[in-house]
Amino acid sequence: MHVMDAIDSSEKTYQKLREQYDPVFQQLIDNIREYNPNYNEELLRKAYEFGLWAHRHQQRQSGEPYFEHCLNVALILAEMRMDSVTIAAGLLHDVVEDTGYTNEEIEEEFGPQIALLVDGVTKITEVSGRKRLSRESRQAETFRKMLLSMARDLRVIIIKFADRLHNMRTLEHVPAKSRMRIAIETRDVYGPLANRFGMARVKSELEDLAFKYFDNKSFVELKKRINQKKEAREAYLAKIIAPIETELKTHNINATVYGRPKHLYSIYRKIHIRNKPFEEIYDLLAIRIIVQKVEECYYVLGLVHNLYTPVYERFKDYIAMPKINGYQSLHTTLVDKEGHMVEVQIRTEPMHNIAEMGIAAHWRYKEGIPDRKKDDVEQQLGWVRQLLDQFKGKEMVDAQDFLESLKIDLYQDETFVFTPQGDVIRMPLDSTPVDFAFQVHTNIGMHCIGAKVNGKIVPLKHKLHSGDLVEIITSANQHPNQDWLIFVRTSKARHHIRKYLREVQFEHSIKLGEEIITKYFRRFKLKVSEDKLEESAKKLNFDNVKNLKAAVGRGEVSIEKIFSSISDAKPKEQKESLLQRILSRNRNQSAIQVQGMDNIMVHLGKCCQPVPGDDILGYITRGKGVTIHRSTCPNMQSLIDKKDRTIPVNWTVEVEEEFKVQLSILGEDRKNLIRDITQALANHNINILNLDIRSKDKLATGKIIVEVKNLPHLTRVINAISKCKGILSVERVEPASRKRTV
């Protein structure tokens, strides 16, 4: 049965609602007709009647009929000058989520486009066959779903914003407990998302509405203070604007000039983030000049710079270099004779539309013609597609990872740098060569070992600046390591590094687990067979033996558990106490003191080769004493949440002991390179245990193992090698870059 046939127009409730809302619907139609004479009245009327019917028994928390919300969302969409399909979807946007109707029924009656839009706005409620999701996971899934459907049709996000806007306008009716959560979600996700899509008007309103709830005290106070000086400020502004207007007239430029109050939340942020008192925030107001032609923007800029002194470092040309969200405008800050600063924005009418409406501007109807530029829309979607690609193919994403990636992509300003081929790569501010490498190609990122910026070799954590020419040096032996996570800025780089580290850690854990199992079985004179381990894995609820071994390697499953899970394994433990066992193996460990204990068996982690001076942590292994790792060691990172098994340790360096360290070297392949390196080390009296250098494509790569006393000593070694002619980089080998066991 078609859903429209379900409507019983003689029903009392329905009739009453129709009487109440028909005039509002008429208003909606009138609003639409004004900008779009070709609107589809039949579709809109059908959506109105069906939506009203579907929601007829529901009420909002304020007590109003629920459908009032849907009508308001449609009115907001009409204010944004959306097409009929979007507005009809706005009227129906809560039908699937809140009434018994299905998306299939919507599709049958209203077609696939509207069904797609409604489905995109519908929250994730339940994922079948899985246990209840945490709030964070549900939120991550909801955003992912929203972005996914948005990648197919951008109008999903526009409806979602209209929905959120009306919900925020009526937030006072929501119970206090949820109010705070919704306000914070609006501030942290919807505000930045609107900003990313260039929807400045929506963003300002959402942020101010959220501000009112998440910090009501500051909101009320700030509003009061701003209103107090309103007249003085307006008078001041008029004084600044008058000469500009005169000048424009003299030069025959037809422009609109007006002062614009900045929204409350942006002032609040300035006070808090820049830590400035209210009195010092002069730019509460900005002046906007809207001109008719692009050339006039620059001409007018010259005129205002003639009238007032510009603050040089605050001039920005977003016309030549548009923001990633499509924003174009000239920005300049002027200083008057009293030293007050005021920001001026100069732009054309079309630029102004994009600045205010962002992506929504591309669906605007101008005299019945959609104003759509395919390239612009595609560009807006680029980052969304990239973000989603990282999480592609996974049924359930890691919530924390996804939200973090989304936030990274939302919160940043940008840097433009160039590839050697002259292509522009846009990245967040403070991006590094590693970010750049991943941006160019995942494989380049996975193996980048150094970079040349404007012809000069820089370290991987170097911060790039707009205009830099960046060239990446790669090596097949290079792999991501934990330290990269500290400085990378793009979600793409972070995602791939994390993924790689997880894989390596998993491999490490398997090998370590294997080793532990073999050793214990041997000690108790038992034979390890894959069959027995299979049996054990099954009993202990692991999918396979690999996972069981990895769990042993991570210390999650004790060897005793494995014994007891295997039927014929009845180990006879030698009656030697843990202490005795430890003492009997204690040797050569005097350089490290374990808090509160002497003489405990201590090994240095082979994986990260700590030397005195490194920040270290101890990990109590089962029956193997304490292993010392550098606190940045990925193996340690995976163990760190087992707090009862990590202990603080200190270096007590009194002994003349030497520690082995492996370094990796990259340099130009040239004659006598090896001789110079060995010479440099000999000059510093440093013992080389092993030196292995190979050359390929005019690059020399190699490993060198040296003995050092402590971290300063190591630093001297690294410096000495770095100073050799042609050396590009010298790095301590990080555990994640070695595919060996711990």
Q: Which stretch binds Mn ion (CB under 5 A): 44-52, 94-102, 109-117, 693-701?
A: 94-102
Shortest spacing between CB 191 and Mn ion, in angstroms: 18
Tell me: does residue 119 bind Mn ion (CB under 5 A).
no
Token duo for residue 509: 């854990």
H or E stretch at 223: helix 216-228
Site for Mn ion (CB under 5 A): which residue of 105, 109, 141, 163?
163
Minimum CB separation from Mn ion for residue 69, in Å? 6
Query: 105 or 163: whose CB is closer to Mn ion?
Result: 163
Asked if residue 694 lies in contact with residue 705, where contact means CB atoms within 8 angstroms, the answer is no
Stretch that binds Mn ion, among 87-95, 343-351, 409-417, 420-428 (CB under 5 A): 87-95
Least distance in Å: CB of 93 to Mn ion?
Answer: 6
- Cα separation, 635 vs 509, in Å, equals 9
Pairwise CA distance, residues 121 & 118, whole Å: 5
CA neighbor of 452 nearest in space, from 737, 729, 734: 729
Nearest to 195 by CA among 409, 404, 489: 409
What's the min distance (Å) between Cβ of 98 and Mn ion?
8
Contact 501, 736 (CB under 8 A): yes
Choice between 94 and 119, CB closer to Mn ion:
94
Complex with Mn ion: residue 209 or 497, whichever CB lies closer = 209
* Options 89-97, 187-195, 248-256, 369-377: segment touching Mn ion (CB under 5 A): 89-97
Residue among 101 and 521 whose Cβ is closer to Mn ion? 101
Please report how close the Cβ of residue 231 comes to Mn ion at its closest, in angstroms: 40
Q: Catalytic residue positions?
A: 97-98
Q: Which two tokens stand for residue 444?
A: 């380049």
From start to end of 599-670, where are the E strands?
602-604, 616-620, 626-630, 646-651, 659-668
Q: Candidates 6-14, 159-167, 414-422, 603-611 — which segment interacts with Mn ion by CB under 5 A?
A: 159-167
Other C-beta atoms lying within 10 Å of the C-beta of residue 251: 13
Distance CA 526, CA 292 (A): 87
Taking contact as CB under 5 A, which single stretch among the options 107-115, 156-164, 258-266, 611-619 is the one that binds Mn ion?
Answer: 156-164
Nearest residue (CB) to Mn ion, 94 versus 409: 94
Distance in Å, CB of 76 to Mn ion, minimum: 11
C-beta closer to Mn ion: residue 94 or 208: 94
Shortest separation between residue 330's beta carbon and Mn ion, angstroms: 39
Q: Which part of the chain contacts Mn ion (CB under 5 A), choosing from 160-168, 364-372, 518-526, 571-579?
A: 160-168
Q: Does residue 141 contact residue 153 with C-beta atoms inside 8 Å?
A: no
Find, among 40, 94, 107, 100, the residue nearest to 67 by Cα: 94
Contact 460, 472 (CB under 8 A): no
Nearer Cβ to Mn ion (123/581): 123
User: Which CB, 179 or 645, lies closer to Mn ion?
Assistant: 179
Which amino acid does the sequence have at 28? L
User: In angstroms, rounded to a whole number, what is the distance separating the alpha carbons of residues 601 and 620?
Assistant: 10
Q: Report yes or no: 146 and 157 within 8 Å, Cβ to Cβ.
A: yes
Select from 148-156, 158-166, 359-367, 478-486 the region that touches Mn ion (CB under 5 A): 158-166
Q: Which is nearer to Mn ion, 94 or 731 (CB)?
A: 94
Stretch that binds Mn ion, among 86-94, 286-294, 482-490, 580-588 (CB under 5 A): 86-94
Number of Cβ atoms within 10 Å of the Cβ of 265: 25
Q: Say how many C-beta atoms besides its own lie within 10 A of residue 37's C-beta.
A: 10
Nearest distance in Å: CB 162, Mn ion = 9
Closest CA to 383 of 121, 155, 193, 138: 193
435 lies in the binding site for Mn ion (CB under 5 A): no
Residue closer to Mn ion, measured from CB, 94 or 343 = 94
Q: Which is nearer to Mn ion, 69 or 364 (CB)?
A: 69
CB–CB of 474/729 below 8 Å?
no
Q: Which one, 34 or 97, has the nearer CB to Mn ion? A: 97
Placement of tokens 């294997």 in the chain: 514
Query: CA of 179: how far to CAs of 29, 170, 188, 213, 222, in Å?
Result: 33, 10, 14, 7, 21
Residue 584 CB: number of other CB atoms within 10 A?
A: 10
CB of 537 to Mn ion, least distance (A): 48
The span from the CA of 549 to the CA of 511, in Å, is 8
Rounded to a whole number of angstroms, the minimum distance from the CB of residue 66 to Mn ion is 9
Lookup: tokens for 48 = 């109105």
Pairing of strands 626-630, 699-708: unpaired
Scanning 88-96, 303-311, 471-479, 626-634 for contacts with Mn ion by CB under 5 A, the matching segment is 88-96
Is 45 buried (19+), middle (13-18) or exposed (0-12) by CB count in 10 A?
middle
Site string for Mn ion, 284-323 (x = CB under 5 A): ----------------------------------------
Region for residue 737 given its phi and psi (left: phi exceeds 0; alpha: psi -120 to 50; beta: otherwise): alpha
Count of residues in contact with Mn ion, rule CB under 5 A: 2
Length of the chain: 742
Establish how many alpha carbons lie within 13 A of residue 363's alpha carbon, considering only the half-sphere containing its beta carbon. Answer: 23
| Token digits of residue 741 | 């066991």
Residue nearest Mn ion (C-beta atom): 163
What is the nearest approach in angstroms of Mn ion to the Cβ of residue 85?
18
Residues 597-656 that bind Mn ion (CB under 5 A): none
Q: Which is nearer to Mn ion, 92 or 199 (CB)?
A: 92
Burial class (CB within 10 angstroms; exposed 0-12, middle 13-18, buried 19+) of 519? middle
Write the CA distances from 651 to 597, 617, 645, 710, 711, integer angstroms. Answer: 13, 10, 19, 10, 11
- Under the criterion CB under 5 A, does residue 94 sit at the interface with Mn ion? yes
End-to-end CA distance of the chain: 66
Question: 3-state SS of 411-464?
Answer: CCCEEEEECCCCCEEEEECCCCHHHHHHHHCHHHHHCEEEEEECCEEECCCCCC
Shortest Cβ distance from residue 73 to Mn ion (Å)? Answer: 6
Binding residues for Mn ion, rule: CB under 5 A, are 94, 163
